[in-house]
Amino acid sequence: MTLQTHKKGLQGPKRKVVFVTLYELIAILASSLLFMAIGQSAGHSGGMAIAASTLAIVWNLTFNHLFEQWESRQSVKGRSVLRRVVHALGFEGGLAMVLIPLMAWWFGVTLWEATVMEAGLLVFFLVYTYVFNWCFDHVFGLPASASASAAVAPRAQGEPACSS
């Protein structure tokens, strides 16, 4: 097993604020463009993107707090591909349960039409969430919940090696 030097990185509340701010700024821009691409007006698209972002921030803080509590109790440290996929699915699935009815109301469409819209967004955001989290962890280091307490920690199974 290859060993990777553990970097303490960005931790605690500062990590969460930086994470959420970067994630949501990119998400607002992407959502607005995606809504406009399917024929919604710029005003409606931007408003919905901001409303969705606000809900996502609350969900992000809640979900990641619960996920990191669970993660800190796991014997295998690090973030494998499987753990990252579970994280992305849990986050996006929970958010979709709130956004579908909101989009139906906001855009004046049926729940089915909102579900189809959300499905398109979900495909984009599943990939975006996975890639953003991987990049964020690469740049800022893993959170304490995913780090071994030793100075040198094994890379999680399935985690690609990366250079600094």
Whether residue 149 lies inside any domain: the answer is yes
Cα angle, residue 61 at apex, residues 60 and 65 outer, rounded to 5° = 110
**Residue 103: per-residue pLDDT:** 94
Rounded to whole angstroms, what are the CA distances from 30 to 79, 101, 129, 131? 26, 20, 12, 14
Per DSSP, 152 falls in state: E
Residue 16 lies in a domain: yes
Residue 88: name the closest of 66, 63, 69 by CA: 63
Amino acid 97 reads: M
Q: What is the reported pLDDT for 51? A: 93
Evaluate whether residue 162 is within a structural domain: no
Instruction: Note whether residue 118 is domain-resident.
Output: yes
Looking at the domain assignment, is residue 49 inside a domain? yes
Number of domain units in the chain: 1
- Domain coverage including residue 111: 3-154
| pLDDT values of the chain reduced to their tens digit, one per residue, 164 residues | 333 434 567 788 888 889 888 998 998 998 888 888 888 888 888 889 899 989 988 998 899 899 989 988 888 888 889 998 899 889 888 999 999 999 999 999 999 999 998 898 888 888 898 899 899 988 888 887 777 653 344 445 555 544 44
CA 81 to chain centre: 14
In a domain, 160, yes or no: no
- Asked if the structure places residue 111 within a domain, the reply is yes
